[in-house]
């Protein structure tokens, strides 16, 4: 199971998000990010990916769903390399900035840990990882246990990223519908983490 199974619902979500402005979370993260190379994990229709490119990054954008390719023009591809692949199989390269907004939750805890290790290796010293993860109070944590998503507490995350500098941690909750049409309670955990040294 990965994210929204129904193709029509996926396309509707991508159509809607493709015309949205870049997210405030990305704006915040970019204030901390330096360098020229970035990876966007679970890029979706790419509104945030394109903003990273606009701000000077060469971006590798990874997504498991092939239809996201329809949202990147030939011109976008000058600065964005799109890789259609599960993030857990992606071959990470050294880079300055890694971004993952509401995508790593869809990994099992085991795969999440594997990808987190790759992120740690991939970041250059001084590099920044910004992620919107989902917290334990998210209603999917109860109702979707069988799908083996990853819901995290901040202490768990700090243990995984031991030795890293947590520049920003912001939790918020809200009730609204999700991409597959269900009403749900969201618990977001936004983190911006810096690799200060090779650990």
Ligand X SMILES: C[S@@+](CC[C@H](N)C(=O)[O-])C[C@H]1O[C@@H](n2cnc3c(N)ncnc32)[C@H](O)[C@@H]1O
Q: Which residues bind ligand X (CB under 6 A)?
A: 2-3, 17, 42-44, 48, 62-65, 68, 86-88, 101-103, 106-107
For residue 199 the two structure tokens come to: 């650990």
CB of 157 to ligand X, least distance (A): 18
Closer Cβ to ligand X, 69 or 169, answer by number: 69
DSSP β-bridge partners for residue 41: 62
CB of 90 to ligand X, least distance (A): 8
CB of 102 to ligand X, least distance (A): 4
Closer Cβ to ligand X, 158 or 186, answer by number: 186
Closer Cβ to ligand X, 61 or 157, answer by number: 61
Burial of 193 (0-12, 13-18, 19+ CB in 10 A): buried
Closer Cβ to ligand X, 11 or 158, answer by number: 11
CB of 122 to ligand X, least distance (A): 15
CA gap 81, 86 in Å, rounded: 15
Burial of 167 (0-12, 13-18, 19+ CB in 10 A): middle
Whose CB is nearest to ligand X?
A: 44
Neighbours of 196 (CB within 10 A): 11
């Amino acid at each position: 199971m990965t994210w929204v199974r129904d193709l029509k619902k996926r396309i509707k979500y991508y159509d809607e998000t493709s015309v949205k402005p870049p997210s405030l979370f990305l704006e915040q993260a970019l204030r901390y990010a330096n360098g020229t190379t970035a990876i966007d994990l679970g890029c979706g229709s790419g509104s945030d990916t394109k903003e990273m490119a606009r701000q000077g990054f060469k971006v590798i954008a990874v997504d498991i769903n092939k239809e996201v390719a329809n949202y990147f023009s030939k011109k976008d591809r000058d600065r964005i390399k799109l890789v259609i692949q599960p993030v857990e199989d992606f071959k990470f390269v050294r880079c300055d900035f890694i971004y993952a907004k509401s995508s790593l939750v869809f990994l099992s805890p085991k795969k999440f840990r594997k990808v987190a290790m790759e992120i740690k290796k991939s970041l250059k010293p001084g590099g920044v990882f910004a992620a919107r993860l989902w917290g334990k109070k998210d209603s999917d944590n109860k109702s979707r246990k069988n799908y083996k998503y990853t819901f995290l507490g901040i202490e768990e995350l700090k243990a995984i990223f031991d030795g890293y500098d947590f520049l920003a941690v912001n939790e918020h909750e809200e009730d609204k519908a999700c991409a597959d049409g269900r009403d749900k309670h969201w618990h977001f955990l936004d983190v911006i983490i810096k690799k200060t040294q090779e650990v």
